[in-house]
Amino acid sequence: MNFFLEVLIGGLLSGVMYALVALGFVMIYKASGVFNFAQGAMVYLAALSVVGCMEKGAPLWMAIILAFIIMTLFGIATEKFVLRKLVNQPPIALFMATIGLAFFIEGLAPMIFGSEPRALELGIVDEPIPWILDNWNMVISKFDLVAAGVAAVLVATLALFFQYTRVGRALRAVADDHQAALSIGIPLQHIWAIVWGVAGFVALVAGMMWGARNGVQFALTFTALKALPVLILGGFTSVPGAIVGGLIIGASEKLAEIYIPPVMQDLFGGNFGGIEGWFPYVLALLFLLVRPEGLFGEKHIDRV
């Protein structure tokens, strides 16, 4: 039972890390109806900007501010040079543009900051909390708890921003219908620039947490793979959905990795481990059959 709880809690905390990446996707989708294929690359760019600035001599706090400025400028440039010409185009055109953007970032970022993997020290050691280890014989990492706290603050801030600010409401209007939003005077260009800037900030937070955990390197772009099943489960338009989806995916994949392979081995022989790469996708696909819009996604209803 103790081991089960340890795996469950470890999985939930890993899920928070997935949710941090998923939040960036939600931001863009919520405000523009676009699935941003470049979100993983943005996480990489953001983390690389932080370590790149630190290597040039900036202290951590300044490197974070500089990286935020870089991500904001990147968001504005994306709106100006990529998205502006695509207003009112089918969503697939915007999606294709983000694929191009992802490859562009993946090529450009290492050219500017170098491609060698680097450490990012945030001052939080990824070690078990001794008190829990001694009393409960369970490994709960300090780092994972800090990440969970960061995610909670981020989600609360974004939820409030979308729900209660004028800009937040404008973002949602733009997501519903570009043309209708324009017709009532919502400045689409400004809104898109803001939303890409905010998605850049979310990418910065995710990049720092993942970078501190596994090193800053190209593989940060793969974090997007972990976010996709989270989005399917939580819904593409829901900020709390990203968190809940992350928790479900994190916990279920860890439990599956521990408990399913021995059963399969008993039944069929051989080695069935390493399933956490595909298990979340199977879970998400099964979930799609029951609830296509996700747990918290908006139901799509067309009048006929």
Residues that bind other proteins (CB under 8 A): 3, 6-7, 10-11, 13-14, 107, 110, 114-119, 121, 126-128, 133, 139, 141, 143, 210, 213-219, 221-223, 226, 253-254, 257-258, 271, 273-278
C-beta of 83: minimal distance to other proteins in Å? Answer: 26
90 vs 270, beta carbon nearer other proteins: 270
State the nearest-atom distance from the C-beta of 254 to other proteins, in Å: 4
Quick one: 40 or 168, whose CB is closer to other proteins?
40
CB of 119 to other proteins, least distance (A): 5
Look at residues 8, 33, 28, 7 and name the one whose alpha carbon lies nearest to residue 242: 28
Q: CB of 13: closest distance to other proteins in angstroms?
A: 8
CA quadruple 249, 37, 192, 303: dihedral positive or negative? negative
Length of the chain: 304
Q: By C-beta, is 58 or 139 nearer to other proteins?
A: 139
Q: How far is the CB of 128 from other proteins (least distance, A)?
A: 6
Q: Which is nearer to other proteins, 119 or 156 (CB)?
A: 119
Indicate the residue among 211 and 241 with the shorter CB distance to other proteins. 211
